[in-house]
Amino acid sequence: MRSQDQMDDLELEDVQKQENHRNRDGVPNDGFIVTRLVVFVTIAIFMFLLCAAVLITYNFGICSNINVQSEVCAKKNVIPLTIAINNTQSADDIKKIIPFEEDLHRSNRTNVRLPKTMHPLHYELKLMPFLREGNFTFNGDVTIKVNVTKSCKNITLHATTLKISSVNVWKIGNNTTQTDENSRTEIEISDKHAVEPDQFYVIEFPTELESNMIYEIRIKYTGILNDILQGFYRSSYVVNNVTRWLAVTQFQPTDARRAFPCFDEPAYKAKFKIWIARPMNMVALSNMPKINTSSEISDVSGYVWDEFMESVPMSTYLLAFVVSDFKNMTNGRFSVWTRPEALESARYALQVGPKILDFFEKYFKIQYPLPKIDMIALPDFGAGAMENWGLVTFREVTMLHDEKVSAPLNKQRVATIIAHELVHQWFGNLVTPSWWSDLWLNEGFASYMEYVGANMITPEWKAMDQFLCNEVQPVLILDSLASSHEISVHVHDPDSINEIFDRISYGKGAAIIRMMEHFLTTEVFRDGLHSYLTDRTYQVATQNDLWEHLTKSAHESHIFDNLTNVKEIMNTWTTQMGFPVVNVTRNYTTQQIQFAQSRFTFIAPNQWKSLQIKYDEALWWIPLSYTTANEADFNNTKPKDWIRGSEKFAKEFENITNDEWIIVNLQGTGYYRVNYDITNWQLLANYLQNPRTYSKIVPTNRAQIIDDALTLARAGKLDYQIALNLTRYLINEDEYVPWRSALSALNFIDSMMSSGPDYDLFRRYAFSLIKNIYNNVTNSPDGDDPLLAYKRIDITQFACRLGYKDCLDRSLKLFKEWMDSADPDRVNNIPPNERFVVYCTAVKYGTEEMWEFIWNRYMNANVSTEKELLLDAMACSQEIWILARLLERASTENGGIRKQDLLRVFVSVSNHPNGIQVTYNFVRLNWDRLKSYLGPPPMNMYVILMYVFKNANTEFDLTVLQQFMKENITEKSRILTQAVEAIKTNINWMEQNYDTIVEWLRNVTKTQ
């Protein structure tokens, strides 16, 4: 899955990989009259269900962790679900009799894994969604064949927000013989009940099910096509003031259970046979090709059944189906689908998709195993994209590119996200992690290989250079927190599973895979991947399986000796939290250089206790690549030495002189920071500040040096004067990647100083750095160089943010010309790559009329990329009441902003100084309403809080957040722990560094 990609621009952790695929089910509120009697009865029923739920959690939940087959456990305090529902009932009617988990107490869950007593073999699933407004329900009928591997007295599977109407179970034969339908024996059921806090549905029997026997379970049920973008849900779009509805799915990680009762864990792979009922004027899609369509269904007028080919073995979270009136374009086995009005915008996706798929078939040396692949752009989608096998789903903005409106740079975004999802067809779909603890095997590989695929499509993007500043450096910041987590992390319930879809699983996973490729070499790396994928095809795996195959390849190629293995190296990176800083200390007399490692964190070990986190010093296997000023060979990234899980390593260098520098971690391929002795830092600073020599250090290492220096200073491990002196060379820097890294690091200082009395000192220094590059980028056409376009966007955005007069005047002039045009919805002469900077600047410094102009363009826009820019720009306003109104519209049904974009709006507003307090006040006053509107889990609410307080740097801010958490939040959340830690690190920074930086800035600006 690609977490909401637009949030990458806002530094969101996946929320994804955030504002993510994490929105949860809710119920539509179509409106009805409520009497006092109804209120009284409803409250009474609610209190009864609440008490029952608590008893269930205490009694059955505890039992289930010990032995969920226990007959005693199963008899305690259950909620029967036996009322049938017909398709004439509305979603609101169903809500009254289905126990939705948001209405039940769930904070005491500890482990909700299924018992290992059986394994599903085959599903037959029939679904009939009703897309009449005011109904939005679906009927379901699922038949599951299971192999019982251990005698037991119940069947426990997953189901939630479903109304079960009938259950039957048959014994159909021995698993070693062919089943005989004539020998089917129906099994007596003694009880059936939901354990909703754990999302279980349990079927009890008076006698044991036999080991090594095949049983068949048939369940009929009804559910709701919800509006919270999870499970089986509804979406819509409008044409000529007419709303058109569609039914779509999003199951990762734990939401297939919202569409049908199932064994909803990744290890329970099975084959699927799907039938979808649809209106005759619509089309149905699923993972496999359609093989048959029935005649009109006799008892449901206007509907037909579509039958799909049986699938290969796959996990439930990869199942998908869509019912819509969309149109398509096709290229053999590859097709793209959109709403009819947007079909032409899918042409680019159809061009690059088959090329990327073909590339990965050759790269992995394994053919894509399904007969077709559909990609579909959905109007409402909580994630950025989802890799459902054979039916990949996207947000419109991540798949569509309109040549007339979208910025040319949007092509890279579309290509990389398509590449990300297509990599998953092997990593995740063909071979699946046995449990979510190894999610990084999916997302880390996809996040790395998307750059490899994009680099193949358009090498001029220099995607592998961008990887450093897009993936590695941002995740190093998050991983510097005590409240980070291991890549391979224990998770046990849906909430904790959702929390690990973050930059650690995606970005750090990608970074250590890149590091591994460089120390193994590409050839050995690819051979090991091929062996791993071939051996585990249609099966599940753990990281140990991958280590085994890579080690074998390394031994065969003599990259490693027989005493070295990948597991020993890589477990130090996947099972330990955080990363090291390598301290490089030179003896300028003996020419011995010592490489010593220590854990890199922003807060001191003695402060971890205040976060209720235990500090553990860790040691890593660290590949050391390096070069010197005389050698200057940055291409050989294979390690010359290792720190082999020890504290330090020393080596004598014969060919280095005292006046030449050493640079460690070539091209930033290792996942660690480097700190040098003061003399070596000074040698680097002098070399960089010389216009004739700085470019001999490759752009990626210039980016690494700047990022390491400023972040080391931020953590108190390097004098800020040394780090800031290094930035002075930027006056001559002309490459995108170093500037991207520098701006990211400088933006932190900007955020800390922006509300203080000395901010003008920073602005003046920043102006002096960007003056040359600003003039260059604004006077040069983009041409065919995408990195020049990226550079222009970043530099002009920074200049306008600082209030650089030329940038403001130019942006306001372009905006006024557009605003005064005869038909602004059709004619916009602002260069697409520059539109956000122009829009944001106009909203920030312009009038209310300009904001209203942007809002009207947003409401009229039909191209998703343009709507996204306009939505972000509206958050740039400095008017508090306008920002509050924007938040209100984003969090209100029919407010004009899709629910999928709520998190984007809140984060965008809180990214601007005037918006921080507005967002916090709005969240504080509307906490319960927002939770209800978004639905469970509460993680998206926590992400909003994290962004509101991300730049907070006073004890007052810390007290406000902690008091709010105490009053409103009962469960523990890693996201909120990270928010608290971020404030504490910012407070420390202000106390330790603010005065030093002000003094340095005063001295520098005096000489300018």
Predicted confidence (pLDDT) per residue in 101-129, tens digit: 333 333 345 578 999 999 999 999 999 99
- Residues 6 or more apart whose Cβ sits within 8 Å of residue 540: 266, 267, 269, 431, 432, 433, 434
Please return the burial class of 845, using the count of CB atoms within 10 Å of its CB with bins 0-12, 13-18 and 19+. Answer: middle
320 in the same domain as 439: no
Give the per-residue pLDDT at 110: 55
Distances (CA, A) of 340 to 287, 324, 345, 556: 22, 11, 10, 54
Average pLDDT over residues 615-638: 95
Give the per-residue pLDDT at 180: 61
Give the per-residue pLDDT at 604: 86
Predicted confidence (pLDDT) per residue in 785-818, tens digit: 888 999 999 999 999 999 999 999 999 999 999 9
**Residue 55's pLDDT band (cuts 50, 70, 90):** very low
Q: Which of 282, 302, 325 finishes a domain?
A: 325
% of the chain at pLDDT higher than 70: 88
Q: Which of 268, 292, 325 finishes a domain?
A: 325
Q: Is the pLDDT score of 5 beyond 70?
A: no
Average pLDDT over residues 139-150: 98
Give the per-residue pLDDT at 4: 54
Average pLDDT over residues 32-52: 42
449 in the same domain as 314: no
**Residue 563's pLDDT band (cuts 50, 70, 90):** very high
Average pLDDT over residues 422-438: 97
321 in the same domain as 440: no
E-only strand ranges, 261-302? 271-279, 283-286, 290-293
3-state secondary structure of 54: helix
- Structural domain includes residue 508: yes
438 in the same domain as 316: no
**Residue 615's pLDDT band (cuts 50, 70, 90):** confident
Give the per-residue pLDDT at 780: 79
Q: Is the pLDDT score of 58 beyond 60?
A: no
**Residue 606's pLDDT band (cuts 50, 70, 90):** confident
Q: Is the pLDDT score of 989 beyond 60?
A: yes
Average pLDDT over residues 970-984: 91
Contact 396, 338 (CB under 8 A): yes
Q: How far apart are CA 20 and CA 381, in angstroms?
A: 9
- Point out the least confidently predicted range of 163-177, 711-725, 881-895: 163-177
Q: What is the CATH number of the domain that holds 130?
A: 2.60.40.1730
Give the per-residue pLDDT at 81: 32
Residue 327 β-bridge partners: 338
- Point out the least confidently predicted range of 77-91, 250-264, 439-453, 978-992: 77-91
Q: In total, how many domains does the chain have?
A: 3
Give the per-residue pLDDT at 782: 61
**Residue 30's pLDDT band (cuts 50, 70, 90):** very low
Which residue is catalytic, options 421, 866, 868, 981?
421
257 in the same domain as 123: yes
Predicted confidence (pLDDT) per residue in 342-363, tens digit: 999 999 999 999 999 999 999 9
- Structural domain includes residue 402: no
Per-residue burial over 527-558, b if 16 or more Cβ lie within 10 Å, else e, is bbbbbbbeebeeebbbbebbbbbbbbbbbeee
- Structural domain includes residue 215: yes
Q: How far apart are CA 758 and CA 1002, in angstroms?
A: 9
Contact 401, 348 (CB under 8 A): yes
Sign of the alpha-carbon torsion through 246, 247, 253, 254 = positive
Q: Is the pLDDT score of 1003 beyond 80?
A: yes
660 is catalytic: no
**Residue 66's pLDDT band (cuts 50, 70, 90):** very low
441 in the same domain as 320: no
Q: Is the pLDDT score of 53 beyond 50?
A: no
Q: Which of 325, 351, 376 finishes a domain?
A: 325
Q: How far apart are CA 215 and CA 954, in angstroms?
A: 62
- Structural domain includes residue 40: yes
Predicted confidence (pLDDT) per residue in 859-879, tens digit: 999 999 999 999 999 999 999
Q: What is the CATH number of the domain that holds 524?
A: 1.10.390.10
Predicted confidence (pLDDT) per residue in 477-506, tens digit: 999 999 999 999 988 888 889 999 999 999
- Structural domain includes residue 58: yes
444 in the same domain as 314: no
Distances (CA, A) of 798 to 569, 770, 840: 40, 9, 12
Q: How far apart are CA 945 and CA 986, in angstroms?
A: 16
- Structural domain includes residue 521: yes
- Point out the least confidently predicted range of 194-198, 583-587, 883-887, 961-965: 194-198
Distances (CA, A) of 473 to 286, 466, 706, 710, 742: 38, 10, 11, 12, 11
- Structural domain includes residue 725: no
Q: How far apart are CA 318 and CA 311, in angstroms?
A: 11
Give the per-residue pLDDT at 610: 82
**Residue 783's pLDDT band (cuts 50, 70, 90):** low
Strands 137-148 and 213-224, how do they pair? antiparallel
Contact 123, 144 (CB under 8 A): yes
320 in the same domain as 438: no
Average pLDDT over residues 643-648: 96
Is the model more confident about 31 or about 292?
A: 292
Average pLDDT over residues 415-444: 97
318 in the same domain as 443: no
Please state, rounded to an integer, the average pLDDT across all residues of the chain: 89
Contact 457, 411 (CB under 8 A): no
Place of tokens 């449990």: 435
Q: Is the pLDDT score of 743 beyond 50?
A: yes
Average pLDDT over residues 758-770: 96
Strands 385-386 and 373-378, how do they pair? unpaired
Q: Which domain holds residue 529?
A: 434-574
Contact 742, 734 (CB under 8 A): no
- Structural domain includes residue 254: yes
Give the per-residue pLDDT at 784: 66
Q: Is the pLDDT score of 936 beyond 90?
A: no
